[in-house]
Structure 1
Amino acid sequence: MKKLVLTGAAGRLGSYLREPLSKLTEELVSSDIVEDIGKLYPGERYQRADLAEFAAIEALLEGADMVVHFGAIGDEAPFEQILGPNIVGAYNIWEAAHRHGLRRVVYASSIHAVGMHPKTERIGIDAPHRPDTFYGLAKCFAEDLGRLYWDKRGLESVHLRILSCAQVTSTRALGTWLSYEDLVQLVTRAIEAPVTECSVIYGVSDNDRVPVDNSGAQFLGFRPKDNAEMFATDILAAAEPADPGDLAQTRHGGPFAAIALGNSGLAVMDVIDDTKSVE
């Protein structure tokens, strides 16, 4: 590729994607709303853009082959805050991609698009939308938007329903963990696949306790290598007894399924900020 765009480049997941993506293209354009992301990798440049501003996104995607869209508010928030970056921003990405003739959008969707399904159901990639938050609702919108733009305009997309891509700090993460190495492989496969049409795939490592069925997306060639079971002994020894009446423990969305709409889900989770810096 000549030009690949990464949104959300200043975020934690974006920080792990920048270097490997810079090796897949002549030019990686990393983007976010911060003024500067510091030192850049060879072949990378930074272009600030607000997802909610169409003109900025249209300029960002000009001349690009594909866009890896990881930019958004990455937590539950009031709908008025989610609307601009997560919903309008998704439309702006797809519309600008269509206008500039991009081949594909690779999108960071989430388990929260289907987060209210009971964990007793091992859901597949065809599970109907059942969002647990406004954040999850925005993911549903983007998945449907991707389907619409494929059906009506022939713009391919891959929707990566990430479960939990962070250090393993809870019993839930023993099943939902996506390692950074497997994240990179997942995004790379989504970029390099010859044909994707509009596809959904779960972003999860090869955990013994994985709670979803990814078999419907085998064509993408994603073969995760890591397994959260290596953390199980310590995590289970420190865990409180299970509560079958707690939605955070009985729904696929975990804590996001139990919080009140508009309230932060990350505030009740132990997510370690291990954002990668350029060496």
Structure 2
Amino acid sequence: MKKLVLTGAAGRLGSYLREPLSRMAEELVSTDIAEDIGKLYDGERYVQADLAQYDAIAPVLEGADMVVHFGAIVDEKPFEELLGPNFVGSYNIWEAGYRAGVRRIVYASSIHAVGMHKKADFIGVYAPHRPDTFYGLAKCFTEDLGSMYWDKRGLESVHLRILSAAQVNNPRALGSWLSYDDLIQLVTRAVDTPSVGFSVIYGVSNNDRCPVDNAKASFLGYRPKDNAEQFAEAVLAEASPADLSDPGEMCHGGPFAKVDLGQSGIAQMSIVDDRKKS
């Protein structure tokens, strides 16, 4: 590829994607609302832009072959706060991408698009939407947006329903963990698979306790290698017994399935900010 665009480049997951993506195209254009993202990799260029402003983000996509769209507010917030970056921002990426002739968009969707499904149901990629929050609703919106742009305009997209790409420090993560190495493989396969149409795939490692079924997305070639079971003994030794009446314990969305709409789900978690330094 000549040009690849990464949104959300200043975020924790974006920090791990920048270097491998810089090797997949002649030019990687990284973008975010942050003033800068530190030292750039060979072939990488940074552009500060607000996803919610079409006139700001559209020029970034001009001449791009593909977009890896990880930019968003990554937590539950009141709807009004999410509307710009998470809803309008997605529309801006798809519309600007279509007008610019982009071939494919790889989107950081989330388990929270289906977060109210029970973990015991072992849902697949065709499970109906059951968002747990306004944040999850934005993921549903963007998945449907991607489906519509494929059906009506032929713009390919892969929607990565990431479960939890963070250090394993709680029982839920023993099933939901996505290691950074597997994240990189997942995004790479979404970029280099020859034809994807509109596709959904769960972003999860090869965990013994994995609660979702990726079988119908196997054509994308994603074969995760890491397994959270290596952390099980230490995590379970400190865990309290599960409350079977708690949706945060029983549903895919974890804490997001439990909080009131508009209230932070991240605040109920212990996520370590271990972003990669360039």
Partners of 2:119 and 2:156 in 1: CA distance: 30
Partners of 2:242 and 2:139 in 1: CA distance: 29
* Equivalent residue letter for 1:26: E
Partners of 2:38 and 2:209 in 1: CA distance: 38
Partners of 1:63 and 1:120 in 2: CA distance: 45
Partners of 1:23 and 1:101 in 2: CA distance: 22
- Residue aligning to 1:18: 18
Counterpart mapping for 1:172-211 below 5 A:
172-211=172-211
- Residue aligning to 2:169: 169
Give ranges in structure 1 of 5+ residues lacking alignment: none
Report the alpha carbon displacement of residue 254 of structure 1 after superposing the two structures with TM: 0.4
Q: Provide the secondary structure at the position in 1 that maps to 2:48.
A: coil
Q: Provide the secondary structure at the position in 1 that maps to 2:29.
A: strand
Partners of 2:36 and 2:158 in 1: CA distance: 28
Report the alpha carbon displacement of residue 120 of structure 1 after superposing the two structures with TM: 1.6
* Equivalent residue letter for 2:221: G
- Residue aligning to 1:156: 156
Partners of 2:219 and 2:231 in 1: CA distance: 30
Report the alpha carbon displacement of residue 141 of structure 1 after superposing the two structures with TM: 0.2
1:216-253: CA deviations, max 9, x gaps?
Answer: 10000000000000000000001011110111000010
Partners of 1:161 and 1:39 in 2: CA distance: 29
- Residue aligning to 2:258: 258
Partners of 2:127 and 2:187 in 1: CA distance: 22
Report the alpha carbon displacement of residue 50 of structure 1 after superposing the two structures with TM: 0.3
Partners of 1:227 and 1:49 in 2: CA distance: 37
Partners of 2:200 and 2:71 in 1: CA distance: 18
Report the alpha carbon displacement of residue 38 of structure 1 after superposing the two structures with TM: 1.2
- Residue aligning to 1:113: 113
- Residue aligning to 1:274: 274
Counterpart mapping for 1:123-138 below 5 A:
123-138=123-138
Partners of 2:118 and 2:200 in 1: CA distance: 20
Partners of 2:173 and 2:164 in 1: CA distance: 7
| Count of residue pairs the alignment pairs up | 278
- Residue aligning to 1:33: 33
Counterpart mapping for 1:216-235 below 5 A:
216-235=216-235
Report the alpha carbon displacement of residue 16 of structure 1 after superposing the two structures with TM: 0.2
- Residue aligning to 1:57: 57
- Residue aligning to 1:83: 83
Partners of 2:119 and 2:190 in 1: CA distance: 27
RMSD of the TM alignment (CA)?
0.4
Q: Provide the secondary structure at the position in 2 that maps to 1:120.
A: helix
* Equivalent residue letter for 1:187: V
Report the alpha carbon displacement of residue 119 of structure 1 after superposing the two structures with TM: 1.3
Partners of 1:273 and 1:160 in 2: CA distance: 21
Give ranges in structure 2 of 5+ residues lacking alignment: none
Report the alpha carbon displacement of residue 165 of structure 1 after superposing the two structures with TM: 0.2
Partners of 2:134 and 2:2 in 1: CA distance: 36
TM-score between both structures, scaled by the size of structure 2: 1.00
Is 1:249 aligned to 2:259, yes or no? no
Partners of 2:119 and 2:20 in 1: CA distance: 34
- Residue aligning to 1:3: 3
1:11-39: CA deviations, max 9, x gaps?
Answer: 00000000000000100000000111111
